[in-house]
Amino acid sequence: RKRPTLDIDQYAAGVREGSRAWIARAITLVESTRADHRALAQRLLVELLPHSGTARRVGISGVPGVGKSTFIDALGTQLTGAGHRVAVLAVDPSSSRTGGSILGDKTRMERLAADPAAFVRPSPTSGTLGGVARATRESIVVMEAAGYDVVLVETVGVGQSETAVANMVDTFLLLTLARTGDQLQGIKKGVLELADLVSVNKADGPHERDAKSAARELSGALRLLQPPDAAWTPPVLTCSAREGTGLDTVWDRVEQHRKLLESTGALAKKRRDQQVDWTWSMVREQLLNRLRDHPGVRDVAPEVEREVRSGTLTATLAAERILQAFGMPDGEL
Ligand code: GDP
């Protein structure tokens, strides 16, 4: 006879005690897409929720090679040295599509992975970006309930993953590099708007001067993006993850940003808004899954697509046919 209640109490107690084995099990449960696991995971989260919400949640993004893992390893080690407990999570939807992961490999953060005050968790590998993002959001709750007061969520510039991460953190940090010529070219459109903080990494040795001038240029560009009455203008800093320089200033700015959010009440509002956004994004995702898996839709979809491609059916009529097959009444569009 199954006794799920007992299990969940054990999970919750283990997580609250900070047991690494129970934390790992709890995250595995949260990542699972099996229906019975999903139900248990939600019960666990309800138990953990009152003990969460206190950590600094920081998103860290940047193209592959910018130095994210080096940066997180160095910053995380400085933070644990200062008495913090640091959790590192990752959102890397490429790992589910290709089977190969850009992020989340533990060996990328050698010092932190061996640090008893840190917990490094690779990206969940199953499912869509929506599924990966859900698991990561829920893992944040687990890590906070386990007593981690800093949660770093790493993501790579793939698809919509930055937006997903920006929607689950308080402060979003973009790492970039100095490039000759147009500094903005290397930064994906839209990502700059998400950033609360930008740091030009690899500001060391012969690159230091280029990094400083890149930072000045970016700083000007960011000011133009801001409304003149904005309470916060994203600072553009320089750092060297390799040498560990500039990281304390980056963290100071993270703290400053957080204090501003707290003092204005914006933090609580931001987190409430995030909850509502997540709710609808999960509704959207589930609806789309149901639609795609619907037998009637599957029957008509190939033929409808063929007709649209050959020009014998308009996109509007095609959409109507698909929605009808899904069971929606006529004349919706
Ligand atoms: P990620 O793909 O963004 O996680 O980047 P990595 O942290 O794996 O770094 C990519 C490469 O850049 C590695 O060879 C690092 O040693 C190097 N690197 C990272 N940070 C710095 C830095 O601050 N200065 C220099 N010179 N190299 C760095």
Per the CB < 8 A criterion, the answer to whether 241 and 67 are in contact is: yes
| Structure tokens that stand for 184 in this block | 């903005």
Distance 46 CA to ligand 1 centre (A): 39
Q: How far apart are CA 221 and CA 66, in angstroms?
A: 20
Instruction: Indicate whether residue 72 lines ligand 1 (CB < 6 A).
Output: no
Rounded to whole angstroms, what are the CA distances from 127 to 52, 92, 269, 305? Answer: 26, 11, 30, 25
Give me the CATH code for the 52-263 domain, please. 3.40.50.300
DSSP summary character for residue 292: H
Output the CA 173–ligand 1 centroid distance in Å.
16
Question: Given this structure, which CATH class describes domain 1-51?
Answer: mainly alpha
CB of residue 240 inside a 6 A radius of ligand 1:
yes
The token pair at 26 is: 């709890």
> How far, in Å, is the centroid of ligand 1 from the Cα of 70?
6
Q: Output the six-digit token pair for 303.
A: 């033929």
Phi/psi of residue 99, nearest 5 degrees: 80, -15
Pocket test for ligand 1, best of 210, 242, 243 (most atoms within 8 A of CB): 242
Instruction: Provide the pLDDT for residue 20.
Output: 97
Cα 232 to Cα 262: distance, rounded to the nearest angstrom? 13
Q: What would the 3-class secondary structure string for 170-213 be? A: CEEEEEECCCCCCHHHHCCCCHHHHCCEEEECCCCHHHHHHHHH
Instruction: Name which of 115, 113, 109, 154 is nearest 132 in CA terms.
Output: 154
Domain extent listing, the chain: 1-51, 52-263
Residue 106: per-residue pLDDT:
47
Instruction: Tally Cβ neighbours within 10 Å of residue 207.
Output: 17
SS3 label, residue 58: strand
Q: Whose CA is nearest to atom 5 of ligand 1?
A: 67
Q: Tell which phi-psi region holds residue 169, choosing left (phi > 0), alpha (psi between -120 and 50) or beta.
A: beta
70 lines ligand 1 (CB under 6 A): yes
pLDDT number for residue 187: 67
Q: What distance in Å separates the CA atoms of residue 77 and residue 91, rounded to the nearest whole number?
A: 21
Nearest CA to ligand 1 atom 25: 202
As separate numbers, helices (DSSP H) first and strands (DSSP E) second, the chain gives 14, 7
Tokens describing residue 35? 């229906």
Per the CB < 8 A criterion, the answer to whether 239 and 199 are in contact is yes
The one-letter amino acid code at 201 reads N
Q: What is the pLDDT of residue 282?
A: 84
Q: Say which DSSP state 62 is in.
A: -
Q: How many Å lie between the centroid of ligand 1 and the Cα of residue 218?
A: 21
Find out whether the beta carbon of 242 lies less than 6 Å from any atom of ligand 1: yes
Q: What is the DSSP letter of 124?
A: P
pLDDT in tens, the chain (333 residues): 555 555 899 999 999 999 999 999 999 999 998 888 988 999 999 999 999 998 999 999 998 889 999 999 999 999 999 999 999 999 887 765 555 565 655 467 999 999 999 999 988 876 778 888 899 999 999 999 999 999 999 998 766 889 999 999 999 999 999 874 445 555 666 788 899 999 999 999 998 999 999 999 889 888 888 888 888 999 999 999 999 999 999 999 999 999 999 999 999 999 999 989 888 988 988 898 899 899 999 999 999 999 999 999 999 999 999 999 999 876 556
CA of 201 to the centre of ligand 1 (A): 8
Q: Is the CB of 166 under 6 A from ligand 1?
A: no
Q: Which of 11, 13, 16 lies closest to 146, judged by CA?
A: 16
Q: Whose CA is nearest to atom 10 of ligand 1?
A: 65
Task: Determine whether the shortest distance from the Cβ of 227 to ligand 1 is under 6 A.
Answer: no
ipTM: 0.99
In this structure, the dihedral spanned by the alpha carbons of residues 200, 204, 206 and 208, taken in order and rounded to 10 degrees, is: 40
